[in-house]
Amino acid sequence: MIRDVINSLIDYASFHLDLKGLDKIYALNLIIGELNLDYPSEGKIFSEEEIEKMEVPDYFIKEITDFLIKERGFAEKDAELKAILVMGLVTPSPENVVEKFERIKEISSADALDYLYKLGIRNYYFQKTMVDKNIVWKTNYPSKNIEVSINLSKPEKSNKDIAKLLEKPKTSEVKYPKCLLCKENIGFFGTYSHPARENIRFIPVILDGEVWYLQYSPYGYYYKHCICFSSKHSNMVINESTFKKLVDFVDAFPSFFIGSNADLPIVGGSILNHEHFQGGEHILPVMEASVKKEYKLKNYKNAKLFKLDWYNTTLLIKGSDRKEVISLASKILEAWRTYSDLDNDIVAMDDSGNHNTITPSIRKIGDEYNMYLILRNNRCDEKYPEGIFHAHPEYHHIKKEGIGIIEAMGLFILPARLVRQENEIKHVLLNNLNDKEILEKYADLADFLPMISELKEKYNPKTIDNDINKYIENVCMHILDNTAVFKDTKKGNEGLDNFIEGLKL
Ligand SMILES: [Zn+2]
């Protein structure tokens, strides 16, 4: 049976992954060796038509892992690692993928991006079936809409998984690859704590004269969520070169937006030690925000500067002259780094270091660059030990991780645990449990008691799902307000105007 499965996998790879000629025999033999099978079979599981219709290789992954667990005594995780290796063996080599990508790009960069995306789905690098399970919705208000995604594709680790991690002895003191974004991940065999990457493929791109690589995110927070990372394992940084790189990227791939997380903790992403960008073919909510004000510029012929009607402090630079866009962004960044405004609680630097930075992103509409600059500050004080301009503690039950670029631009990625907790809350409301009963039954709902009492007031079993969603949306919007360095108040608006007008742009 497994031999027939492998035969059909070769057919699948031949149709969907460009596996050709001698490479088919070569891959078949490598797989037989990996699975300890001695010889192949003549049989097949699927007809040609069935193979052609397959959009994802989930069937093969399941059969191979089941075989390894049942017939070869593999632990589940080891079987999963081996299945990725098998998918790597039927995928074109990294340089073959680069060659084909470049060939397609000569005609259409969007088609080239699409080729790499589909390759990742078909070789199980991007696990589409899992990602499609994420719960995603967009709010429906007259303006300033946001998107919410409860992310089920990155499951919470159970205590059992964590214990397993501890059991596995460390084979080496050397951390290799240094991080999840190093180019040395390509072909990596994977461990219990580092994903197998035999099936990852990425493409070199030159940004401001440096070699970077473009790959898709395995988590797919939105359509064609890509990551562009430096060939060097070096810390995140936001400077003039960052703006040049972002502009270079959208010049090469105008169908995608691209942006960078800030270079400081709390307001940055989860990986600060490897310089990288995130982009994709998606319109993030901030890009639909309307303009609140235009600042007059004296020294720029083409570029324009706007303040957006958005929760946090977002400036928009528009212009078709790339030098002007880069110069304007650099001047704002340089001034912001050292700008303090005590009336608005903004302190650029103190004993604990520098606090001001920017979350930049860009997209191209026709010939016009649209560069978004979100002003950020990561200072903490006694009242807000986790960040003054970070999600405040009353919202941590929904989200307490750093508010990185994706959230700051209006797409909230929330943890999978919320699905379970929502069900628990519904049970609590249906049975009208009091606080003591709630905590006895569901200890981790402790932080949800204010939310439960709010929902209790207007409880209706028919609308409860919608009411919970509305509550979550509302929290997300408040979190974005928390991250605004200049609040939408008289004092905040004047503060931003003073900052911009003082630059004499
Ligand atoms: Zn790295």
Three-class secondary structure of residue 355 per DSSP = coil
The rounded Å distance from CA 232 to ligand 1 centre is 7
Quick one: which of 410, 418, 405 has its CA closest to 147? 410
Gap from CA of 275 to ligand 1 centroid (Å): 8
**Whose structure tokens read 């070869």?**
72
Question: How many CA within 13 A on the CB side of residue 28?
Answer: 23
Instruction: Using the predicted structure, report yes or no on whether residue 156 has a pLDDT greater than 90.
Output: no
Q: Three-state DSSP class for 10?
A: helix
Longest CA–CA span in the chain (Å) reads 77
pLDDT at 1 over 80: yes
Ligand 1 centroid – CA 154 distance (Å): 20
Do 18 and 119 meet the contact criterion of CB atoms below 8 Å apart?
no
Distance 211 CA to ligand 1 centre (A): 14
Query: Ligand 1 center to residue 184 CA distance, Å?
Result: 8
**Rounded Cα–Cα distance for residues 26 and 381 (Å):** 62
Is the preceding peptide bond at 177 cis, omega within 30 degrees of 0? yes
Q: Which amino acid is at 474?
A: N
CA of 217 to the centre of ligand 1 (A): 15
What pLDDT band is residue 269 in, cutting at 50, 70 and 90?
A: confident
| pLDDT at res. 160 | 55
Residue 202 in tokens: 């990425």
For residue 174, the model assigns a pLDDT of 82
Q: With beta carbons less than 8 A apart as the criterion, state whether 16 and 122 touch.
A: yes
Task: Report the C-alpha gap between 27 and 21 in whole angstroms.
Answer: 10
* Torsion angle (degrees, nearest 10) of CA 160, 200, 416, 74: -20
**What one-letter code names the amino acid at 424?**
E
Q: What is the mean pLDDT of residues 406-434?
A: 95
Ligand 1 centre distance from Cα of residue 278 (Å)? 15
Buried b (16+ CB within 10 A) or exposed e, 247-266: bbbbebbbbbbbbbbbbbeb
Q: What are 277's strand-pairing partners?
A: 228, 260
- From the list 358, 338, 359, the residue with the least C-alpha distance to 350 is 338
CA of 345 to the centre of ligand 1 (A): 35
Q: Is the pLDDT of residue 25 over 90?
A: yes
Q: What is the pLDDT of residues 44-97, one digit of tens each?
A: 999 999 999 999 999 999 999 999 999 999 999 999 999 999 999 999 999 999
Burial of 300 (0-12, 13-18, 19+ CB in 10 A): middle
Q: What is the pLDDT of residue 167?
A: 59
Name the CA dihedral angle for 361, 213, 238, 493, rounded to a multiple of 10 degrees.
Answer: 10
How far apart, in whole angstroms, are the C-alpha atoms of residue 392 and residue 385? 10
For 272-322, the pLDDT digits (tens) are 999 999 999 999 999 999 999 999 999 999 999 999 999 999 999 999 999
- Hey, is 71 helix, strand or coil? helix
Does the structure show a pLDDT above 70 at 202?
yes
Distance 273 CA to ligand 1 centre (A): 7
pLDDT for 152: 86
* Dist. CA 161 → ligand 1 center (Å): 25
Distance (Å) from CA 370 to ligand 1 centroid: 29
One-letter amino acid of 72: R
DSSP state of 353: E
Q: What is the pLDDT of residue 84?
A: 98
Interval between CA 181 and ligand 1 midpoint (Å): 5
Within 13 A of 353's CA, how many CA atoms are on the CB side? 10
Distance linking the first and last C-alpha atoms of the chain: 71
Q: How much is the pLDDT for 154? A: 67
Is the pLDDT at 166 greater than 60? The verdict is no
> How far does residue 179's CA lie from ligand 1's centre (Å)?
4
Tokens encoding 403: 């508010």
Q: Compute the distance from residue 213 Cα to the ligand 1 centre, in Å.
A: 12
Q: Which residues surround ligand 1, an ion (CB under 5 A)?
A: 178-179, 181-182, 233, 274
Token pair in block for residue 211: 């070699």
Q: How far is CA 396 from CA 125, 145, 408, 470, in A?
A: 32, 21, 16, 17
**3-class SS of residue 318:** strand
Share the mean pLDDT of the chain: 95
Q: How far does residue 196's CA lie from ligand 1's centre (Å)?
A: 15
- Could you give the CA distance from residue 399 to residue 395 in angstroms, rounded to a whole number? 6
Angle of helix 21-34 relative to helix 76-89, nearest 10 degrees? 160
Model confidence band, residue 235 (pLDDT cutoffs 50, 70, 90): very high
Distance of CA 483 from the midpoint of ligand 1 (Å): 28
pLDDT of residue 270: 84
Position 206 pLDDT exceeds 90: yes
Bridge pairing between strands 353-354 and 411-415: unpaired
pLDDT at 478: 98
Q: Kindly state the average pLDDT of the residues 387-409.
A: 94
Residue that wins the pLDDT comparison between 154 and 169 = 154
CA distance 150 to 478: 18
Mean of the pLDDT values across residues 116-130? 97
446 pLDDT above the threshold of 60 = yes
Distance 13 CA to ligand 1 centre (A): 31
* pLDDT tens track for 318-371: 999 999 999 999 999 999 999 999 999 999 999 999 999 999 999 999 999 999
Q: Specify whether the CB–CB gap between 387 and 378 falls below 8 A.
A: yes
Between the CA of 368 and the centroid of ligand 1 the distance, in Å, is 33
Q: What's residue 153's pLDDT?
A: 74
What's the gap in Å between 239 CA and the centre of ligand 1?
Answer: 20
pLDDT recorded at residue 155: 58
Distance of CA 216 from the midpoint of ligand 1 (Å)? 16
SS (H, E, C) 440-463: HHCHHHHHHHHHHHHHHHCCCCCC
Q: Compute, in angstroms, the gap from residue 238 CA to the centroid of ligand 1.
A: 17
Confidence of residue 168 (pLDDT cuts 50, 70, 90): low
Cα(14)–Cα(18) distance, integer angstroms = 5
Choose between 486 and 164: higher pLDDT.
486
Residue 474: CB atoms within 10 A of its CB come to: 14
